[in-house]
Amino acid sequence: MDMVVVVLPGDGIGPEVVAQGVKVLVTVAEKFGHALKTTQADIGGLAIDKHGTPLPETTLNLCQGSSAVLLGAVGGPKWDDPSAQFRPEDGLLQLRKGLGLFANLRPVKVFPAMADSSTLKPEVLDGVDLMVVRELTGGIYFGKPKRRWETNRGRRAVDTLAYTEREIERILRVGFELARGRRKHLTSVDKANVLETSRLWRQIANELAEEYTDVTLDHLYVDNCAMQLVLRPSHFDVLVSENMFGDILSDEAAILSGSLGLLSSASLARIPSTEGRRRRRTMGLYEPVHGSAPDIAGTGKANPIATILSVALMLRYSFNLHKEAGLVEQAVASVIEAGYRTADIAVDGQKPVNTTQMGQAILEAL
Ligand code: IPM
Ligand code: MG
């Protein structure tokens, strides 16, 4: 298998965690005889400083010519001025849009050895294994008009939540397909009691359910869903939602696993099929869900696990390397089992390891 991967370290702790992810990728490629070619490029605040834009043409072109992108994180206080022309985050949003990555997958699992380190009771966390499927290139993030202006009664701003049938259908299909390969339970999240886009969403979900008769579909309002996620999280299998709901719910779901430092993500340009027939490659962007954490950048405190698990998702979804993906996930689980903890997941009495030591432990387990 030829693997062409673009590496975008970005800002803050991005470069530190990505370095560990790349080592894992290199090790897997060597071990299983896959030809790996990685190229590094700029994005985010770093790209604003170097090129005057958060997503340089060269970066986008390079990504378009590859089959997978590994990204660290973007943003930081240096670029936080609300009146600035560009923000580092714009680079990420433009990249998602530019690569057509409409499907964002965020799996959440609880490592048994860590059930005690959560802020939630261990019995609530028992059996938690869910996947948030977030629509990523539409909704309120991208709808037009989106602007800010002066009126004679003060400043005004508008964002627009808009969806087409096609956009809704394809993301719901991702949810149904993934549920089909798991516990066959899909929860569609909306705000159909208030929003017109949500009513369309719910209607299309019900129509598709007639095609996916093996999957049980239920609907939850997003506010109720936020509550159920901490009340009885093990009830969920696959959740599917519009862009901003998914953004919020996935941060919430992340704390189930103990830390945002553990949550990986895949953003895909195509509906993954559970039938395993597909041999074509799927363009994907893989990134930890956590941000650039500027407060700990350079301290060695960053947890590389979210990035390493994102590498596993890359192997699975972009390259169809299911065995390799599973081995990376097992290596992470065994290192946690063995008691290795970075600062974000260490509890009383546990001596934390640094970013590189955690990466090294996982490499050795591989
Ligand atoms: C995420 C992040 C991004 C988002 C930001 C950095 C633009 O919060 O990937 O969840 O809102 O999509
Ligand atoms: Mg977010």
Whose tokens are 């499907």? That residue is 103
User: What mean pLDDT is predicted for residues 271-283?
Assistant: 70
Spacing, Cα 244 to ligand 2 middle (Å): 8
Provide, rounded to the nearest whole percent, the portion of the chain with pLDDT above 90.
88
Residues 251 and 273 in one domain: no
Atom of ligand 1 nearest to the CA of 136: 12
pLDDT of 83 reads 85
User: What mean pLDDT is predicted for residues 118-123?
Assistant: 89
- 106 CB burial (10 A radius; 0-12, 13-18, 19+): buried
Provide, rounded to the nearest whole percent, the portion of the chain with pLDDT above 70.
98
pLDDT of 258 reads 85
pLDDT digits (tens, 9 = 90+) for 66-111: 999 999 999 999 999 888 889 999 999 999 999 999 999 999 999 9
Among candidate residues 263, 342, 365, the one with its CA nearest the CA of residue 31 = 365
Residues 251 and 269 in one domain: no
- Containing domain of residue 276, as a range? 1-104+263-366
Spacing, Cα 267 to ligand 2 middle (Å): 13
Residues 36 and 93 in one domain: yes
For residue 31, pLDDT over 90 is answered with: yes
Domain CATH for 345: 3.40.718.10
- 52 CB burial (10 A radius; 0-12, 13-18, 19+): exposed
Binning pLDDT at 50, 70 and 90, where does residue 278 land?
Answer: low
Residue 35's identity, in one-letter code, is A
For a mutational test of ligand 1's pocket, the pick from 11, 79, 86, 89, i.e. the residue with the most ligand atoms closer than 8 A to its C-beta, is 89
For residue 25, pLDDT over 70 is answered with: yes
pLDDT digits (tens, 9 = 90+) for 202-249: 999 999 999 999 999 999 999 999 999 999 999 999 999 999 999 999
What is the rounded (10 degree) CA torsion for 119, 103, 171, 129?
Answer: -30
Choose one of 213, 234, 255: the last residue of a domain. 255
Residues 143 and 246 in one domain: yes
pLDDT of 279 reads 60
Among candidate residues 274, 262, 361, 254, the one with its CA nearest the CA of residue 316 = 274
Choose one of 234, 255, 276: the last residue of a domain. 255
Q: Is the beta carbon of 167 within 6 A of some atom in ligand 1?
A: no
Q: Which of 29-38, 191-200, 278-287 has the lowest mean pLDDT?
A: 278-287
Residue 299 counted as domain residue: yes
Identify which has the larger pLDDT, 93 or 255: 93
Q: Is the beta carbon of 337 within 6 A of some atom in ligand 1?
A: no
Residues 65 and 90 in one domain: yes
Q: Which of 7-11, 120-124, 155-159, 344-348 has the lowest mean pLDDT?
A: 344-348
Spacing, Cα 72 to ligand 1 middle (Å): 12
Residues 4 and 83 in one domain: yes
Q: What is the mean pLDDT of the chain?
A: 95
Residue 364 counted as domain residue: yes
Q: Is the beta carbon of 89 within 6 A of some atom in ligand 1?
A: yes
Choose one of 220, 236, 255: the last residue of a domain. 255
Q: Give the separation between CA 286 and CA 325, rounded to whole angstroms.
A: 13
For residue 276, pLDDT over 60 is answered with: no
For residue 242, give the 3-state DSSP assignment.
coil
Identify which has the larger pLDDT, 85 or 39: 39
Binning pLDDT at 50, 70 and 90, where does residue 348 land?
Answer: confident
User: What mean pLDDT is predicted for residues 40-53?
Assistant: 97
- Split into its structural domains, the chain has a count of 2
